Structure 1
Amino acid sequence: MLITIITFIIVFGILVLVHEFGHYYFAKRAGILVREFSIGMGPKIWWSRRNGTTYTVRLLPLGGYVRLAGADEDDDETLRPGTPVTIQLNDQNEVTTINASEKTTLFQGLPLQIVDKDLVDDLWISGYVNGDESVVKKFSVNHDANVIERDGTELRIAPRDVQINSASLPHRMMTNFAGPMNNFILALVVFIILGFTLPGIPTNSNQLGQVQSSSVAAKAGLKAGDRIVKVNGHSTRNWQSMTTAISSKPGQRLTISYKRAGQEYTIKLIPKKVRRGKQTVGQIGVMEQQKKDFASRIQYGWHQFILSGTLIFSVLGHMFTHGFSLNDLGGPVAIYAGTSQATSLGVNGVLAFLAMLSINLGIVNLLPIPALDGGKLVLNIIEGIIRRPIPEKAEGIVTLIGFGFLMLLMILVTWNDIQRYFIK
């Protein structure tokens, strides 16, 4: 139980960290201010500030986010007219810190009740100082000033020149795409690592890599290097077709055609009956040929990456063509249940699970749903087609609708997962 919980937190943390770092890195390159980089949701348990970005770790390991300047309006909520704050001034009489939190005290802070502000274009704030409502005082705000929010989180303000909408369209598209892209890169790297943990890479050829001593195959005269080309007259072009033909005939006489040194030979044998779960299958005691070279291990990682991505796309396609079901989706509860199964398979099981989740996260985030990265990219593409910015109000409404849809879907999926895995 404890190992599963720890593994779940690590796996989820890696996925979120890699995804959000993609957005963070390309936003920084585009000159967009990243106000906060958070791992986890809910109350913060640790934070640090560096180069204008506040890094936080929050209590609930169920996601994460980057707050890009201009992508939210939290300052409007935190610093409404009438809000009491304290401000700190520099030697040029500019505001360098606006403290809206009761948890933090500013050294030589000046009490101010906000009347109005502009922290985007002209950079100023006005209000009543020390409770004196007879005069409204106006202060210039430094370009790199900070706001301390009610929960004590300290963030940079978001002037217009460092907001996401001030960046070029290609930079914004790359920033939105970078999260899923990082998930794909992570999955590929993990699958390649798995390739190097295996004793050998299966070739899926019909050539025998090893023949067990005293086995049915050995007694029939088969040797390592032989290539089984037919079973009961049916061609076997790869390992899968060959094993399927043999395993489906337990205890039945088979005619095997194989090639050795360019010559074709025929033998007869009877596969041994072996119980596998609730089924009885036939086995002759041979093992698949494997490669151990560097290139084959890299190629294995690439093939697994493509295979996994194709599988996820086929599942999504099935949902659209055969009807939607909540059982086709999985939230944090399903991921926890999957983590428990993966942990029982050891390190390789966890790595494979991490890679599959990473591809899944990348693909799902690229779906054209507002509030997801794919939805943002669609808006970017529309902007490129019409050659003018989409009105902020319209974009905000679309994003809000998408966010509401996702929240409702997450609640339904989570409840469905609880019923599936914990309520029998």
Structure 2
Amino acid sequence: MLAVVTFIIVFGILVIVHEFGHFYAAKKSGILVREFSIGMGPKLIQTRKNGTTYTLRLLPLGGYVRMAGTQDDDNEIKPGTTATIRLNDKGIISRIDLSSKNIDIDGIPVQIVKADLIDDLTMTVFENGEEEQEKKYSVDHDATIVEEDGTEILIAPRDVHFQSATLWRRIVTNFAGPFNNVILSIVSFMIVAFMMGGVQDLSSNQVGEVQKDTPAYSAGIREGDKIVEINNEKTKTFKDIQSEISKAKDKSISLTVAHNKNTETIKVTPKKVNGSDSKIIGIKPSTDDSFMAKVKYGFIQPFAIAAMILTVLGHMITGGFSLDQLSGPVGIYSLTSQVASQGVISVISFIGMLSINLGIMNLIPIPALDGGKLLLNFIEGIRGKPISEEREGIINLIGVVILVVLMVAVTWNDIQRFFIH
């Protein structure tokens, strides 16, 4: 149960922070955000503020931002649809109710003949069942429409569409989601550093904790000592120490250790970890508990992870693709169940790691991902005109198909890895 709750919280934070980036940038760019949803599926509650309807939905898995004029924003009302319209004091439609859940006693029942809620802002209807005479109404620019599930949102006139914003503003809006994931990762690792009380100082060759019953402890190495040389190779940082230990071919290695002002050379035999080729002697780096060290950790850790991700992506391109290099929801859930048992700090670190991962993966130029949208933006900038909506729709459809196929393959591979084998 703890794993399920942790997975929902982690996944929800990642998606909501990502979508909030798109939401904030769109609002600042003059693009109408018709709905900001937390969760998916049937609507539970809703409220509307500053032109955006905020909804809470039944399935607590992520959320979404619905911007006017985008591919996933449906504005069409089919002829023959029954509705209830409400007029303002000027006889202009201010509300269109397509839902059958609630009866608008102040509204007029109509059958819609034609509706243009984008350019002309007009609606032609048969009123009160009088099908022999059509009546044409103007629709207010800020009119609302109640959808079949009861969600009330603003209509989407052309001037507040995503495509009506300048190219630069659209680029910022598309990039804002992954950017927010980077910010979340930085903040997460800063929080981790402060909760731990400090961070490992890999830039120093000073020894921190020495584990008992290990080669280092048996050889007399203690906290505060400095390992200045291994097998006649200078070791100025803890990374140098790790590197020299890992590549040592002999059964024993020679360490030059500084105890305060005294220096001595000792022999240590590293031991392998769980039968692998990794070698350890049982030491940890010293801890830097300064304020700036904790702040720097928030930046260093995400970008170190980002470098690893980019390296893996490079190998996937040049060295062959394998599904084992990817994880879907099943793989993330399996990892979440392990992390949840290790405490809050591990969960927050996990959020930071996943967030930078999500940000980078979203920037891959595959149609339907943010990276694919940015690629289309750059192509538009080069061409001097946008790609037609029809072509963009086809490109995005291809991207969705690719992502769905890949997700199914990755999910099945995860099930085999974590639950069958």
TM-score clears 0.5: yes
Alignment match, 1:381:
378
Question: Deviations for 1:40-77, whole angstroms, at most 9, x for unmatched residues?
Answer: 22222232222221112223333322111111475444
Moved more, 217-226 or 335-344: 217-226
Q: Aligned pair in 2 of structure 1 residues 397, 224: CA closer, same or farther (>3 Å)?
A: closer
Equivalent in the alignment of 1:238 = 237
CA displacement at 1:234 relative to structure 2: 3.7
* Equivalent residue for 2:299, pick from 299, 302, 315: 302
Q: Find the counterpart in structure 2 of residue 93 from structure 1.
A: 91
Which of 343, 357, 362 is the matching residue for 1:360?
357
Q: Contact conserved, 1:249 with 1:281, CA < 8 A, in 2?
A: no
Instruction: Pick closer, same or farther for the CA change 1:254–1:307 going to 2, 3 Å.
Output: closer
Map residues 102-251 of structure 1 onto 2, 5 A cutoff. 102-204=100-202, 205-209=204-208, 225-242=224-241
Given residue 41 of structure 1, which amino acid in structure 2 is its aligned partner? Answer: M
2:82 is matched with 84
Contact 2:39 2:61 in 1 (8 A): yes
Matches for 1:323-342 after TM superposition, within 5 Å: 323-342=320-339
Counterpart amino acid of residue 394 in structure 1: R
Please list the CA deviations of residues 240-287 of structure 1 after superposition, one character each: whole Å capped at 9, or x if unmatched. 443565689899665432346677x3333455x878534799876655
Q: How far apart in 1 are the matches of 2:73 and 2:327?
A: 30
Q: CA RMSD in A?
A: 2.9
For residues 82 and 330 of structure 1, what CA distance do their matches in structure 2 show?
Answer: 46
Distance 1:216 1:139, change over 3 A: closer
Structure 1 19/216 Cα, relative in aligned 2: closer, same or farther at 3 Å? closer
1:40–1:61 Cα contact (<8 Å) kept: yes
- For 1:318 and 1:248, the matched residues in 2 are separated by 23
**Residue 114 of structure 2: SS of its match in structure 1?**
strand
1:422 aligned counterpart, secondary structure: helix
Query: 2:273 touches 2:279 (CA, 8 Å); kept in 1?
Result: no
Q: CA deviation at 1:232?
A: 3.6
d(CA) in 1 for partners of 2:116, 2:133: 19
Residues 346-403 of structure 1 show CA distances to partners (whole Å, capped at 9, x for unaligned) of 1111111111111111111111111111111111111111212322222222122222
1:36 CA drift (Å): 0.6
Indicate yes or no: 2:315 matched with 1:318. yes
Could you tell me how far apart the structure 2 residues matched to 1:286 and 1:109 are? 76
* Distance in structure 2 (CA, Å) of the matches to 1:411 and 1:124: 44
Q: What is the number of equivalent residue pairs in this alignment?
A: 420
Once structures 1 and 2 are overlaid, which stretch shifts more, 159-168 or 322-331? Answer: 322-331
Q: Does 1:405 align with 2:402?
A: yes
Using the TM superposition, give the Cα deviation of residue 116 of structure 1 relative to its aligned residue in structure 2, in angstroms. 0.8
Structure 1 residue 236: Cα displacement: 3.0
Looking at structure 2, the residues matched to 139 and 392 of structure 1 have their Cα atoms a distance apart, in angstroms, of 29
Question: Partner of 1:62 in structure 2?
Answer: 61
User: Is the contact between residue 188 and residue 355 of structure 1 (CA under 8 Å) also seen in structure 2?
Assistant: yes
User: What TM-score do the two structures reach when normalised by structure 1?
Assistant: 0.90
**Aligned equivalents of 2:63 and 2:214: distance in 1?**
55
State the distance in 2 between where 1:387 and 1:176 align: 19
Displacement of 1:224 in angstroms is 5.0
- Aligned residue for 2:12, secondary structure, equals helix
Q: Which consecutive unaligned segments of at least 5 residues does structure 2 have?
A: none
What's 1:3 paired with?
2
Give the distance between the partners of 1:246 and 1:401, measured in 2 at CA.
49
Q: Report percent identity of matched pairs.
A: 50
Give the structure 2 partner of residue 343 of structure 1: 340
Query: By how many angstroms is 1:136 displaced?
Result: 0.8
**Superposed displacement of residue 308, structure 1:** 0.7
- Partner letter of residue 61 of structure 1? P
CA deviation after TM superposition for structure 1 residue 97, in Å? 1.2
CA distance in 2, matches of 1:26, 1:16: 16
CA contact (8 A) 2:13 2:62 kept: no
| TM-score of the aligned structures, taking structure 2 as reference length | 0.90
Q: Which residue identity is paired with 1:134?
A: E
Matched, 1:36 2:39: no
Instruction: Specify the code of the residue in structure 2 equivalent to 1:406.
Output: L
How far residue 140 of structure 1 moved from its aligned partner, in angstroms, is 0.8
Q: Do the aligned partners of residues 252 and 392 (structure 1) sit closer, same or farther apart at CA in structure 2, a change above 3 Å counting? A: closer
Contact in 2 for aligned 1:41/1:64 (Cα 8 Å)? yes
Letter in 2 for 1:301: G
Aligned partners of 2:199 and 2:287 also within 8 Å? yes
C-alpha change, 1:279 and 1:126, in structure 2 (3 Å) is closer
Residues 109 and 274 of structure 1, relative CA distance in 2, 3 Å threshold? same
Match of 1:288 in 2: 285
* Cα distance between partner residues in 2 of 1:372 and 1:212: 46
Matching residue of 1:393: 390
